[in-house]
Amino acid sequence: MQHFFVAFWIAGVVTATVVAAPLRVVVSYPWIRSLVEEIADDQVSLYTLAKGSEDPHFVVPKPSHIAKLRKADLLIIQGASLEIGFLPPLVRQANNPAIFPGNRGFLDLSTAVSLIEQPQAVSRAAGDVHPQGHPHYHLDPHNIPVLARTIETKLCDLDPDHCPLYRKRLGDFLRRWQAKLQQWDQQCASLKGAKVVTYHKLYDYFLRRYGMQLVGTLEPLPGISPSAKHLSQLIQQMRAAKVRWILQDVYHEQKTARYVASKTQATVKVLPHDVEALPGIHSIFDLFDYIVKQLTVQP
Amino acid sequence: MDILLDPILLSLVLLGIHAYFGREIIHRGIIFTDIALGQFAALGLAIALLLNLENFSYEFAVAATLGGALLIYLAEFQKRFQEAFIGLAYAFAAALAFLLLSKSAQGAEHFLSLTAADILFVPRQDILHTAIFYAVIAILIYFRERYLRNRWRELGFYLLFALTVSSSVKLAGVFVIFAILLAPALVSHLLRRGLIFAWVYGAAINVAGIVASYYWDLPTGFTLVFFQSAAALIVFLILAFVRRSAGEKR
């Protein structure tokens, strides 16, 4: 009797693996993971390379990254050179042609949106400028629908059997997102003209969407640590412009921001740049809810 | 599992030559030469970036490392204070690299991405090239021991060590190299064994560290450094304790 059950169980497992064999998707950042979850639910197996609290430019490589990339059917990246510091060697070591750039199992989301600040001439003289343009495009909530659609199209291409499900879930997601967009747009209307300083040029898509004005950054140039002379000039500028907030990311040191705040009228707001960057932010909805709340609800 | 094969191969290639140099530098009491030379390599890279000669960054790194080795060799003439000199040479190279970068307007991010080495990333072809390169260095070491005398012999040691370090730090990072250089050499000295023992012992710990990094999914380089340094510290403390109590009994 027992043997019978065991045989039955094995048969079941084997059938399940053969029939289901879910698409194996590797994504670089948690916000992409959140979008894939919205569309595919648990129809795909998902693995995220970066932690939300990590500096997205530098992700510490681990053996599991190579193992997951080696078996992946689809790799979805943010692109615009954001992953240039860690992903190319990982993909090379994984040696899985399916996910090589340009192949069917590779999706660079930056190609779906129009990037701001594309440099006229690429030169390292301006610091760490990404040649394709500003890479942190996911922080404009109005960019999310086209990104979700791009992911759905790719999932349908690789896994046509589940396409109806993906399409249905995408529609559902877009409806909920549209409702949220209206709410956020309304709340953020008051932000128009607000003057801010950020540590890194990170939130520019959000600032541009809601008409906020970036007066300067704590970094003199992208990727270069704050220097005394630059900060003293910045403090003068901030006093003159009456800057309201210093927007601080979670992965750089915060001492500089607090020091500059103490010399000016500005207050420091620590904002997440990605899902899981701060506790309690588990989805792309949470991410923008948190950012909007931080900026619109008076302390 | 074959994800592990390349890092293990690389760690063994590195161990071969570094265990030899490690025994030598412990014997000479110039431990921090390695870290200082690694920093000189970074300084060379910073100079290349400042001059917008990124394509020649490796040549600059080698030249700066050889320059650093020459300085440390000259400090031999003040043997008593050589280690202090090496420490300052390290601080000097680090500070100068940082200052150059801040002026060159080259992102520190970019610099870090050039200096970031990870033992997981090295393709097999590079491992092969490195093995051949170290074989050549080993032959030169043999000639040095056989034919060079006095000052030339010493200078030869420093220059060959500089060539080795400027290539290996680029592949595996300064911490991994420091651990592979010192830990097996130290343990072999402590147990009064030779180079062969350092090789076998070091290889066993390397493999254990890399396999552990896979099973617990930890950053591979730092796991290897942890295993090498922890094992060497344990051996050191046990021996210190055992030999002390043995001494007391007598």
Give the integer Cα–Cα distance in Å for A112 and A115.
Answer: 9
With contacts defined as CB-CB under 8 Å, which chain A residues touch B6? Answer: 93
Tokens describing residue A159: 């896994």
Radius of gyration of chain A (CA): 22
Kindly state the average pLDDT of the residues B126-153.
92
Which residue do the tokens 């080698």 mark?
Answer: B62
User: How would you write B67-110 as a 3-class SS string?
Assistant: HHHHHHHHHHHHHHHHHHHHHHHHHHHHHHHHHHHHHHCCCHHH
Assess contact for B155 and B62: CB atoms under 8 A.
no
What residues of chain B lie within 8 A of the CB of A225, using their CB?
Answer: 102, 108
Chain A hits for B214, CB-CB cut-off 8 Å, are 63
Alpha helices in chain B (DSSP H): 5-28, 33-50, 57-74, 82-104, 108-115, 124-147, 150-172, 174-190, 195-215, 220-249
DSSP A21: -
What number of H helices and E strands is found in chain A? Answer: 10, 8
Retrieve residue B35's tokens. Answer: 């870290």
Q: Which among A62, A64, A125 has the least Cβ separation from residue B105?
A: A125
pLDDT digits 0-9 by tens, B201-222: 999 999 999 999 988 988 888 8
Domains and CATH numbers, chain B: 5-249 (1.10.3470.10)
Q: Which amino acid is at A38?
A: E
pLDDT band at B56 (very low <50, low <70, confident <90, very high): confident
**Measuring CA to CA, which residue among A88, A89, A109, A107 is closest to residue A98?**
A107
Query: Whole-angstrom Cα distance, residue B212 to residue A44?
Result: 29
A222 to chain B, any CB pair closer than 8 A? The answer is yes
Shortest distance, CA B44 to any CA of chain A (angstroms): 18
For residue A24, what pLDDT is reported? 96
pLDDT of residue B100 exceeding 60: yes
Domains for chain A: give ranges and CATH numbers: 21-113+129-182 (3.40.50.1980), 191-296 (3.40.50.1980)
For residue B102, the model assigns a pLDDT of 73
CA distance A43 to A168: 13
Half-sphere exposure of B124 (CA within 13 A, CB side): 8
- Interface residue A131 vs chain B (CB under 8 A): no
* Min Cα–Cα distance to chain A from B15, Å: 21
A225 touches chain B (CB under 8 A): yes
Chain B residues interacting with chain A (CB cutoff of 8 angstroms): 3-4, 6, 49, 52, 54, 101-102, 105-110, 112-113, 116, 118, 120-121, 123, 213-214, 217-220
Q: Can you read off the two tokens belonging to residue B75?
A: 């400090």
Angle at B185 between CA B183 and CA B187, to 5 degrees: 70
pLDDT in tens, B12-54: 999 999 999 999 999 988 888 988 998 998 899 888 888 878 7
**CA separation, residue B246 to residues A119, A136, B239, B243 (Å):** 71, 65, 10, 5
Tokens of B137: 């260095």
Min CA distance, A60 vs chain B (Å)?
A: 7
SS3 content of chain A, % helix, strand, coil (to 5): 50, 10, 40
Confidence (pLDDT) at B58: 86
Give the lowest-confidence range in A15-29, A164-178, B135-149: A15-29
Apex CA B170: angle with CA B180 and CA B49, to 5°? 150
Strand partners, A75: A26, A106
Out of A48-57, A86-95, A275-284, B108-117, pick the least confident. B108-117
Q: What angle (nearest 5°) sits at the alpha carbon of residue A35, between those of residues A29 and A38?
A: 140
- Sequence-distant (≥ 6) Cβ neighbours of residue A195 within 8 angstroms: A212, A213, A215, A241, A242, A243, A244
Q: What is the pLDDT of residue B114?
A: 58
* Mean local confidence (pLDDT), A211-230: 87
pLDDT 10s digits, A132-180:
889 999 999 999 999 999 999 999 999 999 999 999 999 999 999 999 9
Q: Are strands A213-217 and A245-248 parallel, antiparallel or unpaired?
A: unpaired
Q: Is the pLDDT of residue B109 over 60?
A: no
ipTM: 0.70
Query: Pick the residue with more confidence: A122 or A90?
Result: A90
Mapped onto helix, strand or coil, the DSSP state of residue A273 is coil
- Mean pLDDT of the residues in chain A: 89
CB contact under 8 A, B118 and A223: no
What is the separation of C-alpha A154 from the centre of its chain, rounded to a whole number of angstroms? 18
- Picking from A49, A42, A47, A48, the residue whose alpha carbon sits closest to that of residue A22 is A42
Inter-chain CB pairs, A–B, below 8 Å: 77
Collect all residues of chain A within an 8 Å Cβ-Cβ radius of residue B110.
124, 128, 223
pLDDT band at B78 (very low <50, low <70, confident <90, very high): confident
Report chain B residues whose CB lies below 8 A from the CB of A128: 107, 109-110
Query: Considering the entire predicted model, what is its pTM?
Result: 0.81
